[in-house]
Amino acid sequence: MPLDYERIKNWPIPEGRQEYSARDTILYALGVGAAISNKLSPEELRFVYEKGLQALPTMATILGSPEGFWMADPEAGIDLAKVLHGEQFLTIHKPLPAEGVVIGRETVDEIYDKGADKGAVMYCSRKLYSEDGELLATSGWSTFMRGNGGFGGTATGQPKPHPVPDDRPCDSSIDLISRPEQAVIYRLSGDWNPLHIDPAFAARGGFDVPILHGMCSYGIAGRAVLQLLCNNDPSRLRAFNVRFAAPMFPGETTRTEVWLEGPGRAALRVRVLERDVIILNNGYVEFDA
């Protein structure tokens, strides 16, 4: 069904306030596949050990959400059965503390109309602040709404995917495994969608087994980026954007490939080796070289 552009664009999204602990930070790291071996390297230990603990930068994308799910409000007129997470963006302004209180302020930035038979794409963002008002991170995402096109808007100006070079091999890559119980761990960080744990629910979505959270695969890729480009130092990551291309299943192995594009810039792509399927594409990274 067509949506009311002005109403959604100016939706009064409540401010989100969240207190998180060192335990939450460790749980997030485990949820995105950290600490998979024994013994742990000092670089890996820093994300799961309270002594000298550091937060993974991608954790900023799950903090500061408003209470409830405003898109589920019937007044919004969004067909949730036909909604897909399209892209994820992250800009780090300051390293995320290992524990603390954060404030999230979320906005609907733009909605592009692809047509009645093609749906609409909504871009939102959330600025994450410390309790004393310092901007820590800006996360953004696109939502593909297959059931809400044809509202009379325009498709002009929609951001284009970042190109990944196809004329040369990648400059570096890394393989990271996931656990069979990866989705069960990751959901403890706040994403309770039954698609990722309930086999019967997953079957209704057309999957033989539950799939991994897209934001979990994003976090795994974030760990890969830290190792490939930042010497595992989270303070060096400045931006990390991807487009979701296909589902990943718990227990699969990811291969993250990066192409250097200049000082402190790289393109990225992630595939799962077991099925040779690209799951994250059109990635873009900025980092302190």
Domain membership of residue 199 as a residue range: 172-218+228-287
Set 31, 104, 119, 214: catalytic member: 214
Confidence of residue 3 (pLDDT cuts 50, 70, 90): confident
Under DSSP, the state recorded for 187 is G
Could you tell me if residue 15 is inside a domain? yes
* Torsion from C-alpha of 169, 173, 179, 181, nearest 10 degrees: -70
Does pLDDT of 80 surpass 90?
A: no
- Residue 116 in domain: yes
Same domain assignment for residues 141 and 77:
yes
Residues 234 and 191 in one domain: yes
* Catalytic, out of 196, 219, 222, 283: 196
Q: Does 235 lie in the same domain as 108? A: no
What are the structure tokens assigned to 118, written together? Answer: 């093609």
pLDDT in tens, 6-16: 999 999 999 99
* Known active-site residue 79: no
- Total Cβ atoms within 10 A of residue 213: 24
Instruction: Give the list of residues 6+ apart from residue 216 with CB closer than 8 angstroms, or none.
Output: 31, 32, 178, 182, 183, 186, 248
The residue with tokens 């589902």 is: 247
**Res 102: pLDDT:** 98
Catalytic residue among 78, 103, 211, 220: 211
User: Which residues face 256 on adjacent strands?
Assistant: 174, 270
Does the CA dihedral 139-142-145-151 come out positive or negative?
Answer: positive
Predicted TM-score (pTM) of this structure: 0.96
**Shared domain check, 176 and 141:** no
Are residues 109 and 181 located together in one domain of the fold?
no
Per-residue pLDDT of 160-195, as tens digits, reads 999 999 999 999 999 999 999 999 999 999 999 999
Assigned domain for 155 exists: no
Residue 19 placed within a domain? yes
* Residue in 100, 150, 190, 191 annotated catalytic: 191
Same domain, 247 and 176: yes
Residue 28 belongs to some domain of the structure: yes
Domain-located, residue 22: yes
Per-residue pLDDT band for 109 (boundaries 50, 70, 90) equals very high
**93 assigned to active site:** no
CATH number (domain holding residue 39): 3.10.129.10
Whether the predicted pLDDT of 1 surpasses 70: no
> What is the pLDDT, as a whole number, of residue 81?
81
